[in-house]
Structure 1
Amino acid sequence: MKGSGVRDEELLTAVASGDAVAVREAVTEGAWLEARDARGRTPLLLAAAADHADVAQLLVSAGADPDAPDHQGDTPWLVTGATGSVAMLRALLPAGPDLDHANRDGATVVILAAERGHADYVRAVLEAGAAVDHIDDRGLTALLETVIVGDGSERFQEVVRLLLAAGADPRRTDRDGVTAFEHAVAKGHLEVAALLRDAIRPRP
């Protein structure tokens, strides 16, 4: 049910500033949990983008939708993958988000986090049950995106380890038939290449 325009604006303002007390008051006084700002963002999406986990917990407890999209199709849940906030992930999980919901490019939170090297988030969301081998609109999985977009540093190496441990297919190729291992070799990311080579190598 929609609230009053004034209360809705108060809620959006309070969320943006991270004022949990004001957020609670606005919700109690009838503000609409799914109110929208000029860009179509809900209070929960604003909280996720600013990493106000305590505010998000209040909104989730009141029934806010973690999958409500803005004008670009981004949702509170998708934003957690981009920011890599494990605290926000945990704040939204009780709301039952679609773990494998994809954005306008076909990317899920696993892909969004993996390609940014958010290893702790990747670990947490895989433990929550998110799919490891979802294919985005470019024909890439999280493992391929990690290698192609990443810089081969330790945090990306850890993401590769996590994805492989969760069952990511190291033999899957991009649309040009190139594997993650071949991409790693071409980029000179030898540590990543070694991880992928070991995953592909037949076990005795």
Structure 2
Amino acid sequence: MQVRMSDEVLGKGWLMGRMLLETTDEDGRTPLTLALYRGDTALAAMLIVAGANVNKQDKLSNSPFLLAGAKGYTEIVRLCMLHSANYRVFNRYGGTALIPACERGHVATVAALLTDKRFPIDHMNYLGWTALLETVILGDGGPQFQAITRMLVQAGADVNQPDKEGFTALQHAVSRGWTEIVQLLIRAGAK
């Protein structure tokens, strides 16, 4: 026997599913956010495709999109971007998904974020750092941070944007002795 569902029943089922996707725990975490905190990217991908909100922030101001950037979950970042990621939703430090991805050396994630020319590459967080500044200040100057610096420069990052204290990425790189990054910045017009 085949059962036919009315549009009304199907509509209610969709609404119930949507409500379950957006249910939050005491910390404001949705099932999608929890999946990402636990590192379950397969479940996260299924939830995103099912319509989970990639911009919903928890009590720590983390959204699925921001978490994916910070944790280096490149495929999840791409999925979030395809499912209406809001580039103006910021973490508790006032940062975008790009800033912690740069700081932690997630090369592939940075590359994915930079594919959208609308991404605010020179956004400054509450600490007074852009993605480029955070790459130099908090990175170790090694190959992955050199690659990220190169990508940011090629994407048009402002190489002369100073931090809150007035120091540029070049000045920070010189003070740390990171010759490769210094050369990359100088070739890009850093002063």
TM-score category of the 2 structures, normalised to the smaller one: 0.7 to 0.9
Equivalent residue for 2:82? 94
In 1: Cα distance, 2:186 partner to 2:103 partner = 20
- Whether the aligned pair in 2 keeps the contact of 1:56 and 1:92 (CA below 8 Å) is no
Cα drift, residue 108 of structure 1: 0.4
Of stretches 60-69 and 43-52 in structure 1, the one that deviates more from structure 2 is 43-52
Q: Is the 8 A contact 2:160 2:190 kept in 1?
A: no
Name the stretch that deviates more: 31-40 or 183-192.
Answer: 31-40
State the alpha-carbon separation in 1 of the partners of residues 60 and 77 from structure 2. Answer: 21
Measured in 2, the distance between the counterparts of 1:49 and 1:163 equals: 27
- The equivalent position to 2:105 in structure 1, one of 114, 117, 138, is 117
How big is the shift at 1:143? 0.5
Identify the range of structure 1 (119-128 vs 36-45) with the bigger mean alpha-carbon deviation. Answer: 36-45
Runs of 5+ unmatched residues, structure 1: 1-26
Shift of 1:197: 1.2
Map 1:6-85 to 2 at 5 A.
30=17, 32-85=20-73
Count, aligned residues: 176
CA-to-aligned-CA distance 1:57-99 (integer Å, 9 cap, x gap): 3222322111111111111010011101111112322321102
Partner residue, 1:20? none
Aligned partner letter, 2:113: V
Quote how far apart the aligned CAs of 1:29 are: 7.9
Equivalent of 1:196, from 170, 185, 190?
Answer: 185
The answer to whether structure 1 residue 131 and structure 2 residue 120 are counterparts is: yes
Which aligned segments of 4 or more residues in structure 1 are displaced greater than 3 angstroms?
27-31
What are the equivalent positions in structure 2 for 1:99-178 lying under 5 Å apart? 99-129=87-117, 130-178=119-167
Of 66-75 and 90-99, more deviation after overlay is shown by: 90-99
Q: Secondary structure at the match of 2:20?
A: coil
